Chain A
Amino acid sequence: MLDNTTKEIRERKSKGLINPAKTCQPVGAMYAALGIYKCLPHSHGSQGCCSYHRMHLTRHFRDPIMASTSSFTEGASVFGGAANLKASIRNVFTIYNPDVMAVHTTCLSETIGDDLPSIIGGSEVPEDKIVFYANTPSYHGSHVTGFSNMTKGMVQHFSTATEEEKKEQVNVIPGFVNPGDMREIKRILSLMKIRYIMFPDTSGVVDAPMTGEYVMFPEGGTKIEDLKDTGNSKATISMGLSASADAGLALEKKCRVPNYTLNTPIGVKATDEFIMKLLKIGVSKVPAELEEERGQLVDIMTDTHFHFHGKKVAIFGDPDVVISTTEFLLSLGMVPVHVLTGTPGESFVKTITEMLDHAGLKANVKAGGDLLMFHQWIKNEPVDLLIGNTYGKYIARAEDLPLIRIGFPVLDRSVHSYLPIVGYKGAMRIVEMVSNALLDRADRDAADEDFELVM
Chain B
Amino acid sequence: MKTAISGREKSIVKKGNKKKEILCDSDSLSGSVSQRACVYCGARVVLNPITDALHIVHGPIGCASYTWDIRGSLSSGDELYRNSFSTDLKEKDVIFGGGKKLSLAIDELVQIYNPALIFIYATCIVGVIGDDLQAIAKAAEKKHGIKVIPVESSGFIGNKSAGYRAACDSLLKLIAPEKPLETIPGSINLLGDFNLAGETWIVRKYIEAIGLHFHTAFTGDSSSETLKTATGASLNLVQCAGSMVYLANKMEEIYKIPFIRISFLGIEDTIGSLQTIASWSGDQLIQEKTDQLITDQLDGIEKEMKQYRTMFTGKKAAVYVGGGFKAISLIKQFRDLGIEVVMIGTQTGSKDDYRQIESLVGEGTVVVDDTNPAELERFIKQKGADLLVGGVKERPLAYKLGIAFIDHNHDRKHPLVGFEGAINFAKEVSWTLNSPVWEFV
Residues of chain A having any CB pair with chain B under 8 Å: 1, 6, 10, 12-20, 22-24, 26-27, 40, 42, 45-56, 58-59, 62-74, 76-77, 83-85, 87-92, 94-96, 106-108, 111-112, 137-140, 142, 208, 210-214, 216, 391
Residue from the list A24, A63, A96 in contact with B62, Cβ < 8 A: A24
Check: B134 CB closer than 8 A to any chain A CB. no
Complex Cα–Cα for A214 and B156 (A): 31
Do A70 and B31 touch across chains, with their CB atoms under 8 A apart?
A: yes
Complex Cα–Cα for A22 and B66 (A): 10
Which residues of B have CB within 8 Å of A216? 373-374
Do A48 and B402 touch across chains, with their CB atoms under 8 A apart?
A: no
Do A139 and B125 touch across chains, with their CB atoms under 8 A apart?
A: yes
- Would you give the shortest CB distance from A158 to chain B, in whole angstroms? 22
Which residues of A have CB within 8 Å of B377? 214
Complex Cα–Cα for A391 and B155 (A): 25
Check: B396 CB closer than 8 A to any chain A CB. yes
Which residues of A have CB within 8 Å of B395? 58, 62
Do A55 and B60 touch across chains, with their CB atoms under 8 A apart?
A: no
Do B41 and A17 touch across chains, with their CB atoms under 8 A apart?
A: no
Highest count of chain B CB atoms <10 Å: which of A48, A76, A91:
A48
Do B61 and A48 touch across chains, with their CB atoms under 8 A apart?
A: no
Which residues of B have CB within 8 Å of A63? 396, 400
Complex Cα–Cα for A139 and B58 (A): 12
What 1/0 flags go to B99-132 for Cβ under 8 Å of A?
Answer: 0011011011101100000000001110111000
Which B residues from 25 to 78 make CB contacts under 8 A with A?
A: 27-41, 56, 59-68
Do B86 and A52 touch across chains, with their CB atoms under 8 A apart?
A: no
The closest CB in chain B to the CB of A106 belongs to: B124
Known contacts A24-B65, A92-B31; decide if A64 and B125 are in contact (CB<8 Å). no
Beyond contacts A52-B66, A111-B94: 20 other A-B pairs, Cβ-Cβ < 8 A, are: A1-B82, A10-B112, A15-B101, A17-B64, A17-B88, A18-B84, A23-B65, A23-B66, A47-B28, A47-B34, A48-B39, A64-B373, A69-B33, A71-B31, A72-B156, A77-B156, A87-B29, A107-B89, A111-B128, A112-B128
Which residues of A have CB within 8 Å of B56? 16
Check: B136 CB closer than 8 A to any chain A CB. no
Do B401 and A214 touch across chains, with their CB atoms under 8 A apart?
A: yes
What 1/0 flags go to B155-172 for Cβ under 8 Å of A?
Answer: 111110000000000000
Complex Cα–Cα for A49 and B125 (A): 12
Check: B392 CB closer than 8 A to any chain A CB. yes
Stretch in B4-12, B224-232, B237-245 touching the partner: B4-12
Which residues of B have CB within 8 Å of A55? 66, 392-393
Complex Cα–Cα for A280 and B154 (A): 53
Known contacts A55-B66, A138-B61, A212-B401; decide if A20 and B33 are in contact (CB<8 Å). no
Which residues of B have CB within 8 Å of A51? 34-38, 41, 393
Known contacts A91-B31, A137-B91; decide if A48 and B38 are in contact (CB<8 Å). yes
Known contacts A48-B39, A48-B155; decide if A68 and B32 are in contact (CB<8 Å). yes
Which residues of B have CB within 8 Å of A65? 393
Residue from the list B6, B109, B127, B393 in contact with A94, Cβ < 8 A: B6
The closest CB in chain A to the CB of B7 belongs to: A91
Residue from the list B30, B35, B84 in contact with A70, Cβ < 8 A: B30
Do B66 and A74 touch across chains, with their CB atoms under 8 A apart?
A: no
Check: B87 CB closer than 8 A to any chain A CB. yes
Do B60 and A138 touch across chains, with their CB atoms under 8 A apart?
A: yes
- Would you give the shortest CB distance from B210 to chain A, in whole angstroms? 34
Do A84 and B124 touch across chains, with their CB atoms under 8 A apart?
A: no
Which residues of A have CB within 8 Å of B33? 40, 66-69, 96
- Would you give the shortest CB distance from B75 to chain A, in whole angstroms? 9
Do A46 and B36 touch across chains, with their CB atoms under 8 A apart?
A: no
Check: B214 CB closer than 8 A to any chain A CB. no
Known contacts A55-B393, A95-B4; decide if A49 and B87 are in contact (CB<8 Å). no
Which residues of B have CB within 8 Å of A142? 61
Complex Cα–Cα for A63 and B87 (A): 32
- Would you give the shortest CB distance from B278 to chain A, in whole angstroms? 38
Which residues of B have CB within 8 Å of A12? 105, 108
Residue from the list B30, B66, B112 in contact with A71, Cβ < 8 A: B30
Check: B1 CB closer than 8 A to any chain A CB. no
Complex Cα–Cα for A444 and B32 (A): 51
What 1/0 flags go to B140-162 for Cβ under 8 Å of A?
Answer: 00000000000000111111000
What 1/0 flags go to B289-327 for Cβ under 8 Å of A?
Answer: 000000000000000000000000000000000000000
Known contacts A48-B37, A49-B38, A106-B124; decide if A22 and B31 are in contact (CB<8 Å). no
Do A88 and B155 touch across chains, with their CB atoms under 8 A apart?
A: no
Complex Cα–Cα for A73 and B65 (A): 23
The closest CB in chain B to the CB of A56 belongs to: B66
Do A88 and B31 touch across chains, with their CB atoms under 8 A apart?
A: yes
Do B62 and A52 touch across chains, with their CB atoms under 8 A apart?
A: yes
Complex Cα–Cα for A66 and B373 (A): 8
- Would you give the shortest CB distance from B94 to chain A, in whole angstroms? 5
Do A17 and B31 touch across chains, with their CB atoms under 8 A apart?
A: no
The closest CB in chain B to the CB of A44 belongs to: B30
Which residues of B have CB within 8 Å of A112? 128
Which residues of B have CB within 8 Å of A58? 392-393, 395-396
For this complex, 11 residue pairs linking A to B, each with C-beta atoms less than 8 Å apart, are: A19-B68, A49-B155, A53-B66, A71-B28, A87-B30, A91-B31, A92-B31, A107-B62, A137-B91, A138-B60, A210-B400
Check: B246 CB closer than 8 A to any chain A CB. no
Check: B79 CB closer than 8 A to any chain A CB. yes
Do B86 and A16 touch across chains, with their CB atoms under 8 A apart?
A: yes
Do B5 and A91 touch across chains, with their CB atoms under 8 A apart?
A: yes
Known contacts A23-B62, A46-B155; decide if A14 and B34 are in contact (CB<8 Å). no
Which residues of A have CB within 8 Å of B93? 139
Check: B397 CB closer than 8 A to any chain A CB. yes
- Would you give the shortest CB distance from B169 to chain A, in whole angstroms? 17
- Would you give the shortest CB distance from B305 to chain A, in whole angstroms? 32
Complex Cα–Cα for A216 and B372 (A): 12
- Would you give the shortest CB distance from A337 to chain B, in whole angstroms? 23
Residue from the list A26, A84, A139 in contact with B94, Cβ < 8 A: A139
Do A91 and B62 touch across chains, with their CB atoms under 8 A apart?
A: no
Which residues of A have CB within 8 Å of B393? 51, 54-55, 58, 64-65
- Would you give the shortest CB distance from B309 to chain A, in whole angstroms? 29
Which residues of B have CB within 8 Å of A62? 395-396
Known contacts A46-B124, A108-B124; decide if A74 and B91 are in contact (CB<8 Å). no
Known contacts A23-B66, A214-B397; decide if A111 and B6 are in contact (CB<8 Å). no
Complex Cα–Cα for A201 and B401 (A): 24
Complex Cα–Cα for A52 and B391 (A): 13
Complex Cα–Cα for A6 and B84 (A): 17
Complex Cα–Cα for A113 and B84 (A): 29
Check: B90 CB closer than 8 A to any chain A CB. yes
